[in-house]
Structure 1
Amino acid sequence: MSHIADNLLAVHARIEHAARNANRAPDSISLLAVSKTFPAADIRAAFAAGQRAFGENYVQESLAKIEALGDLRADMEWHFIGPLQSNKTRPVAEHFDWVHSVDRLKIAERLSEQRPDALPPLNVCLQVNVSGESSKSGVAPEEALALARAIAALPKLRLRGLMSIPEPASDQQAQREPHRRLRQLYETLRAQGIELDTLSMGMSGDLEAAVLEGATIVRIGTAIFGQRGYTH
């Protein structure tokens, strides 16, 4: 068994343990393997170990991998989770199943316009800047309802939920706080009639805190593929 397969088993064990601690069903939490900067061969190894959903941050890098793994495409889900510039929306609309990082209406409109008719609606999450960091992408929480309503009305998108990348914290209580804020915003939007079913939050270092606060998708890279050597 490859180290990636071993790592996937360990991550699933963490998810199951966290789910039990939160009195949740483990199968209510989906694992998104964040494969940015790792080669297609590593994704193929994860696929062979049973992983089906993969997250990428960089458009050109991801397109090369999608092409290299074309023989597996029918059984894979590709999620775009990085900042998205308006001039890069077309290939994302054409090749991805999900976009987690929609933070302004212009991006959503372009994704909707450029989504091919032959494909199902593109699943999207609204990225929220829950920590208020100037360096982070994301809509401000107080602006999320208006943006969610506008995105939900677009014809070739399906608004699924909210995503955040909070500021790192070392202890679990501090980790839980921004996830709790995102969950509370999610509940507020649902109470306003926005149909949502997804909370994309939690990474390798705060998976347990995110599950305790209601994450339905956890985005795990390092704990599966190892430390990254950034080239971007």
Structure 2
Amino acid sequence: MSSIKQNIEQVITQIASATEKCGRDADSVQLLAVSKTKPIAAIQEAIEAGHFAFGENYVQEGVEKVQHFRDTDHSAALQWHFIGPIQSNKTRPIAEHFDWVHSIDRVKIARRLSEQRPANSAPLQVLLQVNTSNEASKSGLIFAELPQAAADIAQMPNIELRGLMSIPEKANDYDSQFAAFHALAEAMNTLKADHPQLDTLSMGMSGDMDAAIAAGSTIVRIGTAIFGARDYSNKA
């Protein structure tokens, strides 16, 4: 069985290959290790392998992990991203403990995060989640809502709008994958006319990473390929 260190190295190699194919620098794509449902020991193994950026979907579980590693040798280097759905009554712990939030799907959530971000913390880096395929079962803003949402959020203190995130409809062929990611990249290019600070596209997972990188992804979210299959037995 391969180790987490070996898995991380393999994913980094895949990222390098994908960026080379489309003429991008490998350093232009950040690997976010999605550690949801995974134990502290697995994250520790990834840290020992030199990886420091982790994504969590569940508030309580994520906060416990952030707190566990807060006083460790690598605490200053660690970067914690919240990437799951956000309920209004769960914004405070997210605002207090995470560095990034990828899944803002309405202005109300951004406003609460801004109000609840501790004054002594750096601004919370945030992304708008976009429902690129208009699936009723998925969270996210539709394209037409982006300009107003971005304008509203850009005025809020304590948070900094950095870009967009999507989880497109599952597709097995490269062309369909690329089309969905390209649409998100085009939406961000349009927004940059009024928000030139936007620099982050969180898109792409294990099955569609190559297409996401070709379309301009700057963060790929990889979980199973690093940590193995997830255990949801204790999740609601």
With structure 1 as the length reference, what TM-score do the two structures score? 0.97
How far does residue 229 in structure 1 lie from its aligned partner after superposition? 1.7
Which of 209, 212, 215 in structure 1 is aligned with 2:214?
A: 212
Cα shift readout 1:201-228 (whole Å, capped 9, x = no counterpart): 0011111110000000111101111111
Q: Which residue of 2 aligns with 1:56?
A: 56
How far does residue 192 in structure 1 lie from its aligned partner after superposition? 3.3
SS of aligned partner of 2:127:
strand
Give the Cα separation in 2 of the matches to 1:53 and 1:67. Answer: 15
What RMSD, in angstroms, separates the aligned Cα atoms of the two structures? 1.2
- Within 5 Å, give how 1:31-110 maps onto structure 2: 31-70=31-70, 71=72, 72-110=74-112
5+ residue gaps, structure 2 = none
Which of 166, 169, 179 in structure 2 is aligned with 1:167?
A: 169
Q: Which residue of 1 aligns with 2:190?
A: 188
Give the Cα separation in 2 of the matches to 1:45 and 1:202. Answer: 24
Comparing 221-230 with 116-125, greater Cα deviation is found at 221-230
How far does residue 230 in structure 1 lie from its aligned partner after superposition? 1.2
Give the Cα separation in 2 of the matches to 1:167 and 1:230. Answer: 22
> 1:38 corresponds to which letter in structure 2?
K
SS of aligned partner of 1:11:
helix
Give the Cα separation in 1 of the matches to 2:146 and 2:199. Answer: 16
Give the Cα separation in 2 of the matches to 1:213 and 1:54. Answer: 23
Cα shift readout 1:169-191 (whole Å, capped 9, x = no counterpart): 11111111110110010111012
- Where has structure 1 moved over 3 Å in runs of 4 or more? none
Answer yes or no: is the 8 Å Cα contact 1:2–1:45 preserved in 2.
no
Q: Which residue of 2 aligns with 1:119?
A: 121
How far does residue 194 in structure 1 lie from its aligned partner after superposition? 4.8
Give the Cα separation in 2 of the matches to 1:192 and 1:75. Answer: 32
Cα shift readout 1:112-150 (whole Å, capped 9, x = no counterpart): 000001001000000000011001000111101100110
SS of aligned partner of 1:208:
helix
SS of aligned partner of 2:192:
helix
Aligned length: 232
> 2:46 corresponds to which letter in structure 1?
A
How far does residue 2 in structure 1 lie from its aligned partner after superposition? 6.4
- Equivalent pairs: percent with the same residue? 56
Give the Cα separation in 1 of the matches to 2:3 and 2:170. Answer: 26
1:2–1:117 CA distance, 2 compared to 1 (3 A): farther
Which of 133, 138, 141 in structure 1 is aligned with 2:140?
A: 138
SS of aligned partner of 1:75:
coil
Give the Cα separation in 2 of the matches to 1:46 and 1:148. Answer: 34
Answer yes or no: is the 8 Å Cα contact 1:149–1:194 preserved in 2.
no
Cα shift readout 1:51-80 (whole Å, capped 9, x = no counterpart): 110000000111121222221322200000
Give the Cα separation in 1 of the matches to 2:211 and 2:177. Answer: 6
How far does residue 26 in structure 1 lie from its aligned partner after superposition? 0.3
5+ residue gaps, structure 1 = none
With structure 2 as the length reference, what TM-score do the two structures score? 0.96
> 2:58 corresponds to which letter in structure 1?
Y
